[in-house]
Amino acid sequence: MGITISSAFDAGNIRVVGQDGDTFDLEIVKDHLSDFYQWFYFRVAGAAGREVTLRIVNCAGAAYPNGWPDYRACLSVDREEWVRVADTSYDDGVLTIRLTPTADSVWIAYFPPYSMERHHDLIASFAALDGVEYRSLGQSLDGQDIDCLTIGSGPLNVWLYARQHPGETMAEYWMEGALDKLCDPDDPVARVLRTDATFRVVPNMNPDGSRRGHLRTNAAGVNLNREWHAPSADKSPEVLCVRTAMDDSGVDFAMDIHGDEAIPANFLAGFEGIPSLTDRQSKLFKAFSDSLERLSPDFQTAQGYEVPPPGQANLSMSTTQLAERYGCVSMTLEMPFKDNFNLPDPVHGWSPERSRHLARACLDALHAILPQLGEAARV
Ligand code: ZN
């Protein structure tokens, strides 16, 4: 029987460009109307018990070539548990994945995928709970709703949003952990958070890119996290509708959830370079980061992005735009595609379950700074 490789499904991405026996040459497909690519997700069928070699040959031109060294591909038989393929190597622009599938249908991906079908399951399950309010903030270019869940009734306005970059699927697994904790009727931290704050949660900012199997852009090839200074209905309605809802509610605290291809650690990026930076904002950001570092051994502050000089912030990004626009505390959380090399898991690497745990720690850290945040909001 012949081996087949396919990606014509929700969030799939790969192209077969050559075959020699059980060795396949593959290419990752660019985001539509864009040059970005790095996300892959495909099925290998009919290969049980055979040694298969998968060579992704266009990795040198991917968005983040530094993402490939020390990276190991993800594999699943049941599409629920994902493990790392130990025999993954990167050399001369080619990522080589060698495996002997145990079943005739196995799935390979850059990171455990988060399809739009799974997104709809997530929204349906939480929207049905008492104390959770569902709202569509607007629609994407492909006509998909921008789903928002509101939880809690306190005076502090907290926004959590993820997957502006659709290939960073760990961000929506983080959302599962955050929503689980926030909606737990017995969790004492959640009970206090729901009393002191109103949470507006957008688990997926970019449904079109998610369904199309994009790395970084929407249906028009636009990077949503470069649109926050001037979102438009024809290029970035996803950002326009969320920013409009934020203008209506106000924002005291916001987290934008992402994944980083190259750095093997969890870290935060802040808003240090905004023109109207205040001491209050900087202190609250540091208080949150310090708390999170104490609460989660998976979080650290030694590695991260370079901090821009004073006044040099890029205000087209959401974190800086929100901090400047609302005087709030906002931040970008980056999780690794590879692993946290300080606390590695050789079987799973960085994983959905660890992303969920980190989300719970982030809410604990938010709880730890609530007195300072509440005081600042009242001033
Ligand atoms: Zn990102």
Give the pLDDT of the chain (379 residues) as one tens digit per residue: 799 999 999 999 999 999 999 999 999 999 999 999 999 999 999 999 999 999 999 999 999 999 999 999 999 999 999 999 999 999 999 999 999 999 999 999 999 999 999 999 999 999 999 999 999 999 999 999 999 999 999 999 999 999 999 999 999 999 999 999 999 999 999 999 999 999 999 999 999 999 999 999 999 999 999 999 999 999 999 999 999 999 999 999 999 999 999 999 999 999 999 999 999 999 999 999 999 999 999 999 999 999 999 999 999 999 999 999 999 999 999 999 999 999 999 999 999 999 999 999 999 999 999 999 987 665 5
Nearest CA to 337 out of 32, 9, 66, 24 is that of: 66
Amino acid at residue number 106: V
Q: Are 242 and 202 in contact (CB under 8 A)?
A: yes
List, in sequence order, every beta strand (DSSP E) within 110-230. Answer: 132-139, 145-151, 156-162, 197-202
Q: What residues are neighbours of ligand 1 (ion), with CB under 5 Å? A: 165, 168, 258
Phi and psi torsions of 37, nearest 5°: -160, 145
Q: How far is the CA of 46 from the centre of ligand 1 (A)?
A: 35
First-to-final CA distance of the chain: 71
Q: How far is the CA of 335 from the centre of ligand 1 (A)?
A: 9
In whole angstroms, what separates CA 227 from the centre of its chain?
A: 17
Note if 334 is an active site residue: yes
Q: How far is the CA of 379 from the centre of ligand 1 (A)?
A: 33
Residue 98 CA to residue 53 CA, distance in Å, equals 5
Q: How far is the CA of 257 from the centre of ligand 1 (A)?
A: 8
Out of 176, 227, 324, 334, the active site residue is 334
Q: How far is the CA of 296 from the centre of ligand 1 (A)?
A: 21
pTM over 0.85: yes
